[in-house]
Structure 1
Amino acid sequence: MDDDSRLADWERRTDLPLVIASLVFLGSYAVHVLLPGLPGAAHAFFLSLMYAAWAVFAVDYAVRWRLSGEGPGFVRRHWLDTVVVALPLLRPVQVVRTYESIQRRRGEPRLALHARVAAYSALSISLLGFSGALAVYQAERAAPNATIRTFGDSLWWTCSTLSTVGYGDYVPVTTLGRFIAVGLMACGLALLGTVTGSFSSWMLQRFSLGEEDDRPPES
């Protein structure tokens, strides 16, 4: 069995476990951040789940690197996976890509391209926004002179940041919070650009079809 087939077999076998690990990581992190009043043993349990899921991501990355046979080039070609290992809060966003690959392998009917772009972008924005809101809330809630004091404030700020509106009523004051803000701005621009481009392409196709229908039949 060559390297490509072994890598494909590994990815096929680990798709579902990685999705479960992603959701476990996000759920454990949410409980850890949103319920600070839990007993210490409960926090330790959820932290253990987070670190275990993180270890799963790291092992998967290492195995795929080894099976790819690409050496250091694997890091460059799979830069998103590399970023996810360093910033595991982004891992749930990859659930979208995993779902797409599972559907493709099973030969299940899929939505039209433009509908898939819109649906997957919406899901990505939701997962990214929730993860970003949790991280910003954890970084900002106890900071001096912070304006983001509740998770509701953080959600509102995240929505305005991802949409590139930026009202300015809530702003991060910590270095970590501002770093997260820059990442959310970049992701918001990229996702909105993707949706806008897909919608524009769909509109052009519809107009092209309309013009063809309006043409008189050739004699």
Structure 2
Amino acid sequence: MMSQRSPGDEVTRQRSATVRPRDAASVMLLDRDGARVRVLMGRRHSAHVFMPDVYVFPGGRRDAGDHRLGFASDLHPTVLRALKTAGGRNLTDARARALALAGLRELYEEAGIAVGKPSPAQAAPVPFLPDLANLRYMARAITPPGHARRFDTRFFALFVDEAGIDPTRFLDSRELQDLQWIDVDVTPSVRIPDITAVILADLKSGLDSDPSLPCERPVPLYTTRRGRFVRTLL
């Protein structure tokens, strides 16, 4: 029997198709103190509307106040320039920088990891001045149309030794649970979104090409056009 669609279903479908992506950022925290490079991932809470119960890198949407956060050191000029000009629209320095600040804020909120100098004077939501200097801009991905929530996510990479982070000190949160280090060279045994698998493959390729992940590198942009998954270099 053919199912009947209600008017409400059609309205929901139309709204989902026109949802505009929201700026977001994600941080791939890398531990290279060993034979293989590992990346920190955690499971999104089952109550999440967007991608529940899958393993992802710490991250989330850019908040309105992120551009007002103080910071200890700025982005590498190449990274800032790429964030500002990629994708056909020019961003201000403050808005581009806010993407990186959002990534480090989310890393702190979701995993308890502070990247920067302690600062009691820093305004909430982070009690430190973020250090942006060692962030590499690795990829950008836009959620395809048709989802109830869409994000325009910038992915950053950061080595724990460069950031002065103890890789044994992290905390689960309500947002991200079962945090664990995943070997970049091995297909994860945990459930991950398709786009996360693509970004992981890019990360492995970048490390194979140059283990230092230099800032001066092309950044892939992943979008969907007319139902086709498209990769372009920014």
Q: Same fold (TM over 0.5)?
A: no
TM-score w.r.t. length of structure 1: 0.25
TM-score w.r.t. length of structure 2: 0.24
RCO greater where, 1 or 2, for CA within 8 Å and sep 6 or more? 2
- Greater gyration radius: 1
